[in-house]
């Protein structure tokens, strides 16, 4: 009988750096490992990822699995899933945690299907109850929560939403065991190949999940054209543009910009909400912001009960004035 043990975190990299959500995953993995009397391990897949072993030696990691090859320079489901499936079969973890990002949402289902095991996506929480791992996630547009257990299939797997769990802090340097896993993937046999990678800038497409400042618009924005006012302020602040579910469903802005329980959970230093009333589903998605500024012409809007600073008035008047004032102030610095 296979002995499944330890909790793995699949680390995500972006532009040569570890994405911050990976440290959130390590934090919850350490909490769970303490309750289950297991160890936390990380899997690093990419090119030159062994350079990160030093960084991960400060987080109480027991084992670091290295899958390193130039073939992993660009993410491909085919290559990453192939090596990870082999790695999991060899070392049999009890649990695997992925970030609930495009990377994790693409990779995790492929691994789960291949291994014929359970996967709980978009988790808001994970805990141990009566010896079982309980995965909590929202359903029906964020109106309900469900608890899910995977009693038998192993390894059990989950993708975790970002900006919900506390990041693991650094501790005294340790000496984790480093395991270099052989890579035997032939480029010429791949069914898909990355020929070139061209980055383009698309309106509203600055990622909101790791942004320090976010300017969001809601139903009160009134139209797709009025989001240009939001864009102008965001440009001055070097901020990302977010939106409420109502604005997204109206077709004014991309789904990738949606902040909330059924969108992306964010935790910026500053969150500016324009024309957003403040439904509970939206508030859940931005409540971890350090400072919340609300602009709304309805003085009874629920968001005013929640914000640090509130301005009652029409955003079409206030935001352009704020944009010009900030331009002038920033030009003097």
* pLDDT value, residue 1: 57
Cis peptide before 18 (omega within 30 of 0): no
| Shared-domain flag, residues 165 and 20 | yes
Whole-angstrom distance, CA of residue 93 vs CA of residue 4: 5
Residue 208 lies in a domain: no
| Shared-domain flag, residues 324 and 175 | no
Residue 197 lies in a domain: no
Ranges assigned E (strand) in the chain: 7-10, 13-14, 17-18, 40-46, 63-68, 95-99, 119-129, 132-139, 144-149, 156-160, 177-180, 213-217, 240-243, 270-274, 291-296, 309-312
| Shared-domain flag, residues 19 and 156 | yes
Strands 213-217 and 240-243: parallel
Which residues constitute the domain of residue 60?
7-189
* pLDDT value, residue 212: 93
Whole-angstrom distance, CA of residue 167 vs CA of residue 40: 14
| Shared-domain flag, residues 242 and 177 | no
* pLDDT value, residue 18: 94
Alpha helices in 209-298 (DSSP H): 227-237, 245-249, 280-286
| Shared-domain flag, residues 218 and 179 | no
Residue 134 lies in a domain: yes
Residue 206 lies in a domain: no
The domain that holds 244 is classified in CATH as 3.40.50.1220
pLDDT in tens, 51-96: 999 999 999 999 999 999 998 998 999 999 999 999 999 999 999 9
Whole-angstrom distance, CA of residue 145 vs CA of residue 42: 29
Residue 202 lies in a domain: no
> What count of residues does the chain have?
333
Q: How confident is the prediction along the chain (333 residues), in pLDDT tens digits per residue?
A: 578 899 999 999 988 899 999 999 999 999 999 999 999 999 999 999 999 999 999 999 999 999 999 989 989 999 999 999 999 999 999 999 999 999 999 999 999 999 999 899 999 899 998 888 999 998 876 677 888 988 888 999 999 998 888 888 888 888 999 999 999 887 777 777 777 777 665 555 688 988 999 999 999 999 999 999 999 999 999 999 999 999 999 999 999 899 998 888 999 999 999 999 999 889 989 998 999 999 999 999 999 999 999 999 999 999 999 999 999 888 776
| Shared-domain flag, residues 101 and 240 | no
Q: Token pair for residue 275?
A: 């024309």
* pLDDT value, residue 144: 77
Q: Where does residue 130 rank: exposed (0-12), middle (13-18), buried (19+ CB within 10 A)?
A: exposed
Residue 199 lies in a domain: no
pLDDT in tens, 299-331: 999 999 999 999 999 999 999 999 999 998 887
The domain that holds 153 is classified in CATH as 3.40.50.620
| Shared-domain flag, residues 177 and 107 | yes
| Shared-domain flag, residues 148 and 12 | yes
Total number of domains constituting the chain: 2
| Shared-domain flag, residues 254 and 123 | no
**Closest by CA position to 194, among listed 289, 67, 71, 321:** 71
Please report where in the chains the tokens 């009160």 appear, as a residue. Answer: 220
Whole-angstrom distance, CA of residue 300 vs CA of residue 277: 9
* pLDDT value, residue 333: 67
* pLDDT value, residue 204: 56
| Shared-domain flag, residues 300 and 231 | yes
| Shared-domain flag, residues 160 and 229 | no
């Amino acid at each position: 009988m296979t002995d499944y043990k330890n909790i793995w975190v699949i680390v995500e990299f972006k532009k040569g750096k570890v994405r911050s959500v990976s440290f959130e995953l390590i934090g919850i993995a350490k909490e769970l490992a303490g309750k289950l009397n297991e160890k936390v391990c990380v899997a690093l897949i990419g090119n030159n990822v062994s350079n990160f072993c030093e960084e991960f030696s400060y987080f109480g990691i027991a084992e670091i699995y290295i899958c390193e090859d130039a073939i992993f320079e660009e993410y491909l489901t085919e290559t990453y899933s192939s090596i990870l499936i082999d790695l999991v079969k060899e070392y049999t973890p009890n649990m695997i945690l992925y970030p609930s990002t495009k990377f994790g949402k693409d990779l995790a289902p492929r691994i789960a299907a291949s291994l014929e095991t359970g996967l709980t996506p978009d988790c808001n929480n994970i805990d141990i109850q009566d010896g079982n791992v309980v995965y909590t996630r929202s359903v029906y547009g964020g109106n309900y929560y469900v608890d899910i257990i995977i009693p038998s299939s192993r390894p059990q797997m989950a993708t975790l939403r970002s900006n919900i769990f506390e990041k693991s802090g650094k501790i005294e340097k340790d000496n984790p065991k480093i395991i270099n896993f052989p890579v035997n993937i032939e480029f010429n046999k791949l069914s898909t190949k990355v020929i070139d990678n061209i980055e383009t800038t698309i309106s509203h497409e600055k990622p909101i999940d790791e942004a320090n400042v976010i300017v969001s618009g809601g139903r009160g924005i009134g139209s797709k054209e009025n989001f240009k006012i939001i864009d102008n302020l965001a440009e001055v602040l070097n901020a990302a543009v977010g939106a409420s579910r109502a604005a997204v469903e109206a077709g004014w802005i991309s789904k990738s910009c949606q902040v909330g329980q059924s969108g992306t959970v964010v935790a910026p230093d500053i969150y500016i909400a324009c024309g957003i009333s403040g439904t509970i589903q939206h508030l859940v998605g931005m409540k971890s912001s350090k400072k919340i500024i609300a602009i709304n012409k309805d003085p009874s809007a629920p968001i005013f009960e929640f914000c640090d600073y509130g301005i009652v008035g029409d955003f079409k008047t206030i935001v352009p004035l704020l944009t010009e004032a900030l331009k002038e102030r920033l030009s003097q610095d």
